Amino acid sequence: MRTSTTTATTATTTSSAPILLLITVLVSVFMLAPMLLSIMAGLVNNYSVGLKSGLTLRWLLEVWEVYGNTVGWSLALAVACVIGTLLLGVPCAYALARSRSRSARAFEELLTLPVAVPGLATGLALILAYGQFSAFRQSYAFILVGHIVFTLPYMVRSVAAAFQRDDLHALEEAARTLGASFGQRFLGVLVPAVFPAIVAGSLMVFTLSVGEFNLTWMLQTPLTRTLPVGLADSYASMRLEVGSAYTLVFFIIILPVLWGLQSLARLVQKHHGT
């Protein structure tokens, strides 16, 4: 049933595959046109007039004035979220990888629930439980807690899979018989051995945190706004050009940061000897 959908497209294809080509071209246009359109819209004086109205940076400047601080806060939150998931997630991944008990499996299943359950529900639960602690509620820590709960399973999954390697068991045993304490083994042997997985997990957590909206929209206050929250606000209340310019800010600042981190992660993976 589920797989019958793939037949529908591929059934009529040939080795020269005109249908595959057509689909690829059409989808590419559909995916790329809005990106170009929004970049253009953020740089022209008047969107309905188009390029003829002349190019300007004033929308970008206006965005920077009104929403500039959301960029820094989003990046800071993402970094804090990575640190938080590292501290909580890496030891937890180790414990889950080494324990075969039924309760450990059950805990792992529980831990991944925030991914399956929509962010809206998690946000609702956090507000109902902690909303009355107004100092906490009105700080970025409230959003951070939500982001950590949501991203922790990704870190744990990624790192636990790496901890499960058989040769790592032997390596750990060897270090133990040589008299290394658990701290020494963990930081000196285990963590370096799974470092690529830790980097991959961190990258995933960072990306998810920067773009998170479903949860964050519930958790935000007028004084604690992130980039996606600010974007939604500008789309709802500002003119089209400002919304586009804000989107452009996301492209200019966030995407290069993500690209930089991705190539860093690839570099680590390539040079990591096992």
Return d(Cα 10, Cα 13) in angstroms, integer: 5
By the rule CB under 8 A, 83 interacts with another protein: no
Site for another protein in 12-31 (CB under 8 A): 13-14, 17, 19-21, 23-24, 27-28, 30-31
Angle at 69 between CA 139 and CA 232, to 5 degrees: 85
Tokens of 198: 């830790």
Cβ contacts of residue 159 below 8 Å, gap of 6+?
A: 89, 90, 93, 94, 194, 197, 198, 201
> Between 237 and 273, whose beta carbon lies closer to another protein?
237
Among 79, 80, 232, 265, interactor with another protein by CB under 8 A: 232
By the rule CB under 8 A, 223 interacts with another protein: no
By the rule CB under 8 A, 96 interacts with another protein: yes
Ramachandran angles phi, psi of 238, nearest 5°: -110, 170
Cβ–Cβ under 8 Å, residues 219 and 226: no
> Between 10 and 69, whose beta carbon lies closer to another protein?
10
Residue showing tokens 């804090």: 80
By the rule CB under 8 A, 261 interacts with another protein: no
By the rule CB under 8 A, 247 interacts with another protein: yes
Stretch that binds another protein, among 60-68, 109-117, 191-199, 266-274 (CB under 8 A): 109-117
- Residues touching another protein, count (CB under 8 A): 89
**Contact characters 111-130, another protein, x per CB under 8 A:** x-xx-xxxxxxx-xxx-xxx
By the rule CB under 8 A, 143 interacts with another protein: no
Instruction: Give the nearest distance from C-beta 162 to another protein in angstroms.
Output: 15
Instruction: Give the nearest distance from C-beta 22 to another protein in angstroms.
Output: 9
Return d(Cα 224, Cα 211) in angstroms, integer: 15
Cβ contacts of residue 89 below 8 Å, gap of 6+?
A: 152, 155, 156, 159, 201
Q: What is the largest CA-CA distance in the chain?
A: 76
> Between 86 and 268, whose beta carbon lies closer to another protein?
86
**Contact characters 176-215, another protein, x per CB under 8 A:** ------x------------------------x--xxxxx-
**DSSP reduced 3-state for 221:** strand
By the rule CB under 8 A, 244 interacts with another protein: yes
Angle at 120 between CA 117 and CA 125, to 5 degrees: 85
> Between 194 and 273, whose beta carbon lies closer to another protein?
194
> Between 96 and 199, whose beta carbon lies closer to another protein?
96
